[in-house]
Structure 1
């Protein structure tokens, strides 16, 4: 996608654009089955986002076109005592246990692109940009098991499923995935045309 400007922010600098970040979330998740699910409410996301700003290693990479925020990704250094991580128990590969204790896993928490700009390579550019700037040797994420096309995209990007988790009793079921930082996968061809601003 031409004319896309990427920028990186830490937690302190990202706070100033929290409303913009939440607005993108509100648009992306304003579809069934998320629209009516309290776990995915805009208020709940805003709370999670503000809590993430203060977590160790928080970073976000934003994508703008013509000044408009069209997508972003954010994550933190995975805390080794994070409940979803601990709940995987023996499903976690042996090598990752030590990496988590060394704080050597990047937890990619959210990756979202406005619907008008989807399927144009924005998500892939955001994903690759944030990982390229990280020092951790492994990236981990969780993805709702039936959230397509995202689930399939992560697998094509080289992620491996470790096991299934729930972030909270009321949350859907997620696949926990990981990928060594150095693994590269050729991007898929993009669809022609663009209604992205």
Structure 2
């Protein structure tokens, strides 16, 4: 018998916080393997960030569910606020036309993940497209580790381009690529 289809749904902002436990488990599952090897401390950091970020202007959560109701993955982001530290700690200089952040210009895609049992079924593509379709911002940005080759290839196929590298401010954080995608033709 074929497995039931995966459904993708937007979660209203006022309901997103109630899913934190489930999101944390999906986060743990997706990022426990190479190149991340995230543990409990990373899940805790994610949950602390999410508790604040899901209340931000333009926040959007899209969830993938298997036929059993189990969370197969999710995508999350928000409209980047003016003055956000996103463009700090760069390894090189960028043109101010990229780093200037007028209000409402950029959507920060901060999480996009699919748990192992549901990979290879275009679930990430569907989450990505649902999350970005209809956004009012001019562009979107995200960070991804250079060693995350599957994610790097997926983002390139979806039209993302690398514009810089940075170190996150957390001690011991790895170097990450900053990618941009135009949301308007």
> Considering the TM-score relative to the shorter chain, is it more than 0.5?
yes
2:66 is aligned to 65
Is 1:44–2:57 an aligned residue pair? no
**Aligned position for 2:116:** 115
Q: Summarize the Cα distance change of 1:93–1:27 in structure 2 as closer, same or farther, 3 Å threshold.
A: same
Alignment partner of 1:26 is 2:28: yes
CA contact (8 A) 1:92 1:162 kept: no
Residue 91 (structure 2) pairs with residue 106 (structure 1) = no
Match of 1:137 in 2: 138
Partner in structure 2 of residue 160 of structure 1: 161
Report the RMSD for the aligned CA atoms in angstroms: 2.3
Match of 2:121, SS state, is coil
1:177 to 176, 179, 182: 179
- Secondary structure of residue in 2 paired with 1:146: coil
**1:191: which partner in 2?**
none
2:61 touches 2:77 (CA, 8 Å); kept in 1?
yes
- What is the Cα deviation at residue 61 of structure 1? 0.5
Partners of 1:24 and 1:114 within 8 A in 2: yes
Is contact 2:28-2:38 (8 Å) kept?
no
Preserved CA contact (<8 Å) 2:88 2:166:
no
Q: Report the TM-score, using the length of structure 1 for normalisation.
A: 0.82
Q: TM-score, normalised by structure 2?
A: 0.87
2:56 equivalent to 1:55: yes
Instruction: Report the equivalent of 1:91.
Output: 94
Q: Alpha-carbon deviation of 1:10?
A: 3.6
- Give the drift of 1:97: 4.5
C-alpha deviation, 1:102, in angstroms: 3.1
Q: Which residue of 2 aligns with 1:16?
A: 18
Q: Structure 1 92/114 Cα, relative in aligned 2: closer, same or farther at 3 Å? A: farther
1:28/1:113 contact within 8 Å kept: yes
Could you tell me how far apart the structure 2 residues matched to 1:83 and 1:23 are? 27
Structure 2: gaps spanning 5 or more residues? none
The alignment of Structure 1 onto Structure 2 pairs a total of residues equal to 180
Name which of structure 1's ranges 29-38 and 168-177 shifts more when overlaid on structure 2.
29-38
Compute the displacement of 1:51 (Å).
Answer: 1.9
